Structure 1
Amino acid sequence: MNKFQVTARLAKPVQLILLFALFTFSGCNSHEIYPAAEGFDEKGSDKKAIKIADEMMEKLGGYQAWEDARFIAWTFFGQYQIWDKKENLVRHEKDNTVSIFHLSQPIGQVFVNGRRIQDQNKTLSKLNQAHIQFLSSAYFLAMPYKLKDAGVTLKYKGEGTTMSGRKADILNLTFKDAGATPDNMHDLYIDKETKLPAQWAFYGSKEDKEPSFVRLWADYKDYKGIKLASNRNSKDDTLSVSHIVVTNMVPKELFLSAVPIDKSKIK
């Protein structure tokens, strides 16, 4: 049991999703610029793509800084979450619902209007939904730190130009039995000058010829040694990332609160 004593058990389908969670990292040598997780498709990936990813990671602050980041909080698409990377715990808020769960163990609890759901089936359904929403939201925030995850194949697609007119190298990401949506495909545009991610194209399927959407990756700020971008160039403000905080400590009473918290208290 983890230190927060999160207790409700998840059903087997949810457990399987958690076991393949996108945000489970394996041990790596910290001296490497951008160490690959066990299961990364290095043989199937291009050396040029890997080299560009390594250069990108260095500009982002380095993988060790990412590993050292304890709590990351942010808002995206009407959801606010606090991710405890060390304990692999997530606090997820949406509307009047608060879900607290472990990413790799089948345990969690859900509160609606401040009251804990007691029915196990309803709890399981809510936790499953919150888990999938978190994975999507976390990818919108931190995809550049996940280019060498288990199951990822990284290819160099060529040169291109972003919607803001910046010249970029395009990295293509595909997946093998990884995450909740392994059929997705991504193109990440790495700015040739800054070496930072500048644009993201999302494909619902590897077979798609055109992306489902294209977003800028802009307005970088430094958060305790790691760089994160908030601007996604969308007319819908909920599709930008806000309330970003990286911190070493979140008070237990806030992480476990049964009601949505005051975001300004997370610093």
Structure 2
Amino acid sequence: MIHSQLRRKPVRMLQLLSIFSFLFLAGCNGGGSKEVYPAQPGFNEEGSDKKALEIADKMMEALGGYDAWQNTRYIAWTFFGQYNIWDKKESLFRHEKGNVVSVLAMSKGGGRVFDKGVEETDTVQLYNKLSTAYTHFVSNTYFLFMPYKMKDQGVTLKYRFEAKGPNGKPADVLRLTFDRVGISPDNMHDVWIDKETHLPVLWAFYGSKEDKEPAFIRKWADYKDFNGMKLAVNRDSQMDTLRISHLKVVKSVPKALFLSPTPIDKSQIK
């Protein structure tokens, strides 16, 4: 088992990652529900708009259905100069940036970090590096999978208005706010859902609920099918580092690759 090869860490690290895992991963492995888009425990359904919930349900159907998301095991992708492999079922995350490799066992509160193949053994440095890797996990996964996280714990979903999407077609704009969850609960998101395709086509990110203008806006386009689950691979950025590449959805990843202390050959994930 991969878990057995990830060393247990001090209580502080265990507590931090356990809390983070509960907050972010609650929606990854729960279920059994046959709802179109089942809300996770702690989702603010009472404070959300009925119209927003109906639009989100249609969106989930257009994306391939919640079961396709739940049944996905390994996802690998490059974003912002970082290579990621996420084992959704076991809550494991491999992160590569330059020569630094981090492997987190989030549900167990442990992990290992290597720099040029040499393992980090200093407790304080290890704690800091694992915490940084977890921050990358949250931001990198949300950037790619945000539509599947709209009914997670602490989220409130509101309908804002109808507007034109980047293609000039009408879209419904939904707003996501958060209540004391995650690593940046003051963030806010607006998502344009195309009224014809029911797919997200635009995303506006606000660093704070008090902000009047978004920090950035990204187009979501070029949806590809990955074992029944649709993901947008085009963020319409002129920066190569913000483009999603090496995106693979697979049923298995060899343990030797997942735990490799050095960056792996991405072509081996297939």
Aligned residue for 1:111? 114
Find the residue that maps to 2:69 and give its secondary structure.
Answer: helix
Q: Which runs of 5+ in 2 are unaligned?
A: none
**1:105 counterpart letter in structure 2:** K
* 1:132 equivalenced with 2:135 (yes/no): yes
- TM-score normalised by structure 1 residue count: 0.96
Contact 1:24 1:104 in 2 (8 A): no
Looking at structure 2, the residues matched to 245 and 142 of structure 1 have their Cα atoms a distance apart, in angstroms, of: 14
Aligned in 2, Cα 1:196/1:55: closer, same or farther, shift over 3 Å? Answer: same
2: CA distance, partners of 1:144 / 1:10:
35
CA distance in 1, matches of 2:252, 2:165: 37
Equivalent runs, 1:5-154 vs 2, <5 Å: 5-9=5-9, 12=12, 15-16=15-16, 18-21=18-21, 22-25=24-27, 27-154=30-157
SS of match in other structure, 1:249? coil
The alpha-carbon deviation at position 20 of structure 1 amounts to 3.1
1:225 to 225, 228, 236: 228
Asked if 1 retains the 8 angstrom alpha-carbon contact of 2:103 and 2:259, the reply is yes
1:262 aligns with 2:254: no
* Superposition pairs of residues 210-221 of structure 1, within 5 angstroms: 210-221=213-224
Instruction: Give the superposition deviation at 1:23.
Output: 2.8
The runs of 5 or more residues in structure 1 that have no matched partner are none
TM score, norm. by length of structure 2: 0.95
User: What's the counterpart of residue 170 of structure 1?
Assistant: 173
1:134: how far off?
A: 1.3
Amino acid at match of 1:242: S
2:14 touches 2:110 (CA, 8 Å); kept in 1? no
Note closer, same or farther for the CA distance 1:236–1:73 as it changes in structure 2 (3 Å cut).
same
Overall identity of the aligned pairs, in %: 57
Q: Report the more deviating stretch, 5-14 or 245-254.
A: 5-14
Equivalent positions of 1:159-198 (< 5 A) are 159-198=162-201
8 Å CA contact retained: 1:40, 1:152: yes
**1:202 equivalenced with 2:202 (yes/no):** no
1:237-256 → structure 2 map (5 Å cutoff): 237-256=240-259
In the alignment, the residues of structure 1 paired with residue 122 and residue 109 of structure 2 have an alpha-carbon distance, to the nearest angstrom, of: 16
Output the amino acid matched with 2:15: Q
Shift of 1:84: 0.4
After TM superposition, what 4+ stretches of structure 1 lie above 3 angstroms from structure 2?
Answer: 1-4
**C-alpha RMSD of the superposition:** 1.6
Secondary structure of the residue that 2:5 maps to in structure 1? Answer: coil
Q: In structure 1, how many angstroms separate the alpha carbons of the residues matched to 2:17 and 2:175? A: 24
SS of equivalent residue, structure 2 residue 16: helix
